[in-house]
Amino acid sequence: MKGKIFAVGIGPGDPELITIKAINVIKNSHTIFVPKGREEGSSIALSIVKEVVDLKGKQIVEVFFPMVKTKYEEYKKEKAWNEIVESVYERLNRGENVSFLTLGDPTLYSTFFYIHRKLIERDKNIEIHLIPGVSSITACAAVSQSFLAVGNEKIAILPANYIDSYDEIFDQFETIVLMKVHVVFEKILEFLRRRNLIERSVYITRAGMEGERVIRDIENVTVDDKNYFSIIIVKK
């Protein structure tokens, strides 16, 4: 097998926050796989890359990751993944290089994990490279001038869905980064009010994209600010 697959972190959204390595890897790939979720939309990853790489002559494959709620949907997702893996595998066998785009960094909450596992199951000799990218976490920290850690401080990165069970963690850590905050925002507000941490929190949405907002009074977050690209940083 001569082809290689690269999971390419393209950064948080600002085309300028792509690395030289990501650009070079995409340039040297025959096919670009672009994951397309319900909320992310393929257009974002692809439009970021188009700003800095000429994609003429490359094959673009949009792959859809369905959200799973039922057994039937689970079956459809498995089927979708297996098709992606087969499609990648065919190309690698032909000696083609493949790039699989991921927003932010491929090791942080990216769907590539599942593809990675299935590719290795398919053939353990497949050459897979992960290309790190600027994560949305540090992009949000930068735009809000929040220093995530200084000296011996500890950082916790937490999906917000389980906010109710995080009391002990909030006791132990100096910095808490809450991900996926838009779905359970009211629960987060309640939690932070109870812990007296409202004034220690900042809400950042669409860092480096159009519509970027840094909201320091998080009681004032509006419906428009609640989207997939939002995080809350709490500095105690």
Residue 82 host element (H or E):
helix 71-93
Smaller CB separation from a second copy, 151 or 222: 151
Task: Output b/e per residue, 144-159; b: 16+ Cβ within 10 A.
Answer: bebebeeeeeeeebbe
Provide the terminal-to-terminal Cα distance of the chain, rounded to the nearest Å.
51
Q: Which stretch binds a second copy (CB under 8 A): 34-42, 93-101, 147-155, 194-202?
A: 147-155
Task: Give the number of residues in contact with a second copy, rule: CB under 8 A.
Answer: 55
Smaller CB separation from a second copy, 15 or 66: 15
CA angle 179, 182, 185 (to 5 degrees): 95
Smaller CB separation from a second copy, 210 or 224: 210
d(CA 69, CA 146): 36
Q: Does 202 bind a second copy (CB under 8 A)?
A: no
Q: Cβ 106 to a second copy, closest distance in Å?
A: 7
Cβ partners under 8 Å of residue 108, min gap 6: 135, 137
Q: Does 55 bind a second copy (CB under 8 A)?
A: no
In angstroms, the Cα distances linking 56 to 4, 23, 25, 226 are: 20, 14, 15, 35
Q: Compose the 161-200 pattern: x for residues touching a second copy by CB under 8 A, - for all others.
A: xx-----xx--xx---------------------------
Q: Does 16 bind a second copy (CB under 8 A)?
A: yes
In angstroms, the Cα distances linking 134 to 50, 58, 68 are: 18, 24, 28
Q: Which stretch binds a second copy (CB under 8 A): 81-89, 143-151, 183-191, 213-221?
A: 143-151
Q: Which parts of this chain interact with a second copy (CB under 8 A)?
A: 9, 11-12, 14-21, 23-24, 52, 105-110, 113, 116, 128, 130-135, 138-139, 141-143, 145-159, 161-162, 168-169, 172-173
